[in-house]
């Protein structure tokens, strides 16, 4: 299988894990908070480690080939922070109350129908689906570009993003289920919100395929590193802290870094 096909498949896998979040919400009566905290911390560890050790370094090497050591390093840093700014802007334009990263677990949601109308719950679910679709777009590009450069790296990133997408599926499906009483409708909206991830990859590939060279690759890859660090620090770690104890999230974080480091050493 060529790298392009693998990149699309991995992006599709990562995006559609929002559907897995829906299934967990519907068929599990209680959130396993410690496990979720550990896995989210683990995902953050993978993404932070690979962003700084692998992706940033490869972006820097690529840009230094084109612009020389000093300018190449400057452009790498600028592109890295541009990726962070892009994700910050996306979060800024989404109202806090509708942001899917203002997490709630299943027990909290079960108490809300008596307090909120079905219309309000429907709005929460639909806006969560829209917000997740917007967030998933750059994540899809990140997975896709990483896989094109290094399939093993792409697999690691896809798994980390898939773990991160599971609570997003819960955020969409639970309020929609309480609003409509239909598991099918709630699952469908959650499933569709995940499709923006492969869509981001498709559009990114279509736009960039005719312009890919060492300079463009280096800039995009550095921005991908920034995007992933922002996701980890703004979404994954705070959510891991919310769902479980502080040390469980940190142990998961360290475990993710250690496993990523080991896998890179084995593949070196």
What pLDDT sits at residue 56? Answer: 94
How does pLDDT run across 157-184, given as a tens digit for each residue?
888 888 878 777 776 777 677 777 788 8
pLDDT band (50, 70, 90) for residue 62: very high
pLDDT band (50, 70, 90) for residue 113: very low
What pLDDT sits at residue 116? Answer: 46
246 CB-near residues (< 8 Å, 6+ apart): none
What pLDDT sits at residue 117? Answer: 54
Q: Which of 76-90, 107-121, 214-228 is the most confident on average?
A: 76-90
Number of structural domains found in the chain: 1
187 contacts 10 by C-beta, under 8 angstroms = no
How does pLDDT run across 78-105, given as a tens digit for each residue?
999 999 998 888 878 765 544 444 445 5
CA 3/CA 67 separation, integer angstroms? 27
Tell which residue, 14, 230, 16, 228, has the closest CA to residue 142: 228
What pLDDT sits at residue 71? Answer: 96
CA 172/CA 196 separation, integer angstroms? 14
pLDDT band (50, 70, 90) for residue 112: very low
Choose the weakest-confidence range: 15-24, 146-155, 166-175: 166-175
What pLDDT sits at residue 100? Answer: 47
Q: Give the residue carrying structure tokens 């559609």.
A: 16
pTM, full prediction? 0.71
What pLDDT sits at residue 29? Answer: 54
Q: Which of 21-25, 68-72, 150-154, 233-237 is the most confident on average?
A: 68-72
Domain extent, residue 216, equals 3-267
How does pLDDT run across 23-40, given as a tens digit for each residue?
776 676 555 677 778 888
């Amino acid at each position: 299988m060529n790298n392009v096909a693998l990149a699309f498949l991995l992006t599709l896998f990562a995006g559609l894990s929002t559907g897995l979040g829906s299934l967990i919400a519907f068929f599990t009566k209680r959130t396993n908070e410690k496990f979720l905290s550990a896995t989210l911390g683990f995902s953050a560890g993978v993404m932070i480690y690979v962003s700084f050790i692998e992706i940033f370094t490869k972006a820097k090497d690529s840009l230094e080939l084109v612009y020389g050591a000093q300018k190449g390093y400057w452009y790498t840093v600028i592109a890295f922070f541009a990726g962070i700014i892009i994700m910050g802007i996306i979060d800024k334009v989404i109202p806090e109350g509708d942001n899917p990263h203002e997490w709630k677990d299943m027990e909290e949601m079960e108490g809300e129908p008596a307090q909120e109308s079905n219309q309000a719950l429907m709005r929460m679910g639909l806006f969560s689906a829209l917000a997740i679709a917007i967030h998933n777009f750059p994540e899809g590009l990140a997975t896709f570009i990483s896989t094109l450069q290094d399939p093993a790296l792409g697999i690691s990133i896809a798994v980390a993003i898939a773990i991160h997408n599971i609570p997003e599926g819960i955020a969409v499906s639970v309020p929609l289920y309480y609003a409509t009483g239909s598991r099918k409708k709630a699952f469908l909206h959650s499933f569709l919100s995940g499709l923006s991830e492969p869509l981001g990859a498709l559009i990114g590939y279509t736009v960039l395929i005719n312009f890919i060279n060492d300079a463009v690759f280096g800039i995009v890859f550095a921005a991908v590193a920034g995007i992933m660090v922002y996701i980890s620090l703004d979404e994954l770690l705070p959510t891991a802290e919310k769902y479980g104890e502080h040390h469980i999230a940190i142990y998961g974080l360290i475990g993710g870094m250690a496993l990523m480091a080991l896998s890179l050493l084995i593949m070196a």
